[in-house]
Amino acid sequence: MTTNIITTNKLCKTFSTGGVQQHVLRNLDLQIQKDDFTVIMGASGSGKSTLLYALSGMDSPTLGEITFNEEMISKKSSDELAVFRRRNCGFVFQQIYLCDNMSLMDNVMASGLLVSKSRKGVASKAEELFDQVGLSTQDWRKFPAQLSGGEAQRGAVVRALINSPSILFADEPTGALNSAMGLAVLDLLTEAHQRGQSVVMVTHDITSALRGSRILYLKDGVICGECVLGTYEGADDKRKETLRAFLAEMGW
């Protein structure tokens, strides 16, 4: 039996620009299941990223409720949400967003020390994770500007995982990488999921979407379709065909 990690109830998000209101998310009722690799797809401007950041507590909804493990997060203050994020969420961004005035290790430590008091414990876990993602000691001592995009994004994955978050949010994690680097990052996310990590990923890339166990299609702020692919064990033809068919149905 699957349990929900995130539940939304009539989730709405409206932006107001120059007096013009834009309803990006409209009365969304959604459940994100624990241990799932949920992929959110949709056309540009469909509200994918807005949904991701609302679910992760990075932004507050205009209306509606978001419940995380039965805890209502939609009414939390900015600082309460910060504490929520540090304890429960990991983030991987398209633009990587490492602090460029800190070494890769410091980027990870700064995140880890927000939750743990054990400097040694955090450092040791960071080294272990760096090792897992294929970054050497020399690499993690470097500053982001001294790393390639792929190395930096792998470092960002380590930062996202350092606090063993309940859920990992990834917003177009391969968007700024070449295909080889992108695949390496996707492998990391897949491995994390296979180890039992819940993942929510926004993408418009089919190759990335194939890694998901569940695909949600967003159109004009509404979930208009869902496709269950099951746990990823390789991009076989059946999986590809199922996804293509689903996306075709969605008008992709």
Partner 1 sequence: MNNLLSIVKANLQKGKGQAVTLLVFVLISALLMNLGLLLMIGFGNFFEEHSEALNAPHLALLEEKRVFDQAHIDYLKNYPGVTDVEHEQTIAFMADFLYGEGKMPAFFFLVNASKTRTMNDLTLIEGTRPQATNDVCLPYLFKAGGYSIGDDFVMTVGDRVLTYTITGFTDEILFGSINNQTYQLYVTDAGFKSALDRMPEFDCMLIKARFDDPAISQRVRLDCINEFYYKTSVEGFETLYTSSMEWVGVKSVRTLMSSITSLVLVIFSALIILVSLLVIRFRIRNTIEESMTNIGALKAVGYTGRQLLWATVLQFCAIALVGIVIGIAVSYALLPVVSDVLEQQTSLQWIQGFDPLLSTLAFFGILFVVFIVSWATARRIQKLHPLVALRQGLSTHSFERNHFPLEKTRGPLSLLLAAKSAFQAKGQMVMITIIVTVVSFMAVAGLAVYDNLGLNSRNFAFLLAGEIPDAAFMVRTPEDAERIMRDIKKDNNVRKAFYNQDVYVMTNNVQVRNVTAEDFGLFEGAMLYEGQYPRHSNEICVSGALAAMQDLAIGDSVRISLGGNSADFLIVGLIQSVNNYGFSTATTIEGLQRVQASFRPQQMFVYLEDTENTAALVDRISKTYDASLESAINMDELMVAQLSMYGNIFFLVAVVLLVVTALVILLVLYLMMRTVILRRRRELGIKKALGFTTLQLMNQLALYFVPAIFFGVALGGVLGALGFNPLFVAVSGNMGIMSASMPTPVIMTVIACLTLVVISYAFALLIALRIRRISAYTLVTE
CB under 8 Å to 244, separation ≥6 — which residues?
A: 206
By three-state DSSP, how is residue 216 classified?
A: strand
Tokens of 237: 């033809």
140's CB contacts (< 8 A; 6+ apart) are 103, 104, 105, 108, 126, 127, 130, 155
**Closest to 6 in 3D by CA, of 165, 122, 166, 180:** 166
Which stretches within 9-118 are classed as H helix? 48-55, 78-88, 104-112
Q: Which residues contact 82 (CB under 8 A, 6 or more apart)?
A: none
Q: Which is nearer to partner 1, 162 or 243 (CB)?
A: 162
85-104 residues near partner 1, rule: CB under 8 A: 85-87, 89, 91, 93, 95, 97-103
Instruction: Kindly state the helix (H) or strand (E) to which residue 122 belongs, with its residue range.
Output: helix 119-133
When asked if residue 214 is in the footprint of partner 1 (CB under 8 A), the reply is: no
Q: Which is nearer to partner 1, 60 or 213 (CB)?
A: 60
Binding of partner 1 by 8 (CB under 8 A): no
**Site for partner 1 contains 172 (CB under 8 A):** no
**Least distance from partner 1 to the Cβ atom of residue 56, Å:** 9
Chain residues 122-141 in contact with partner 1, contact rule CB under 8 A: 122-123, 126, 141
> Does 58 help bind partner 1 (rule: CB under 8 A)?
yes
- Closest approach, Cβ 158 to partner 1, in A, equals 13
Amino acid, single-letter form, for residue 164: S
Instruction: Mark 65-84 with x for binding to partner 1 (rule: CB under 8 A) and - for no binding.
Output: -------------xx--xxx
CB of 32 within 8 A of CB of 215? Answer: no
- Contact string (CB under 8 A) for partner 1, positions 147-166, x = contact: ------------x-------
Q: Which is nearer to partner 1, 35 or 106 (CB)?
A: 106
Interface contacts to partner 1, rule CB under 8 A: 49, 53, 58-59, 78-79, 82-87, 89, 91, 93, 95, 97-103, 105-106, 109-111, 113-115, 119, 122-123, 126, 141, 143, 145-146, 159, 171
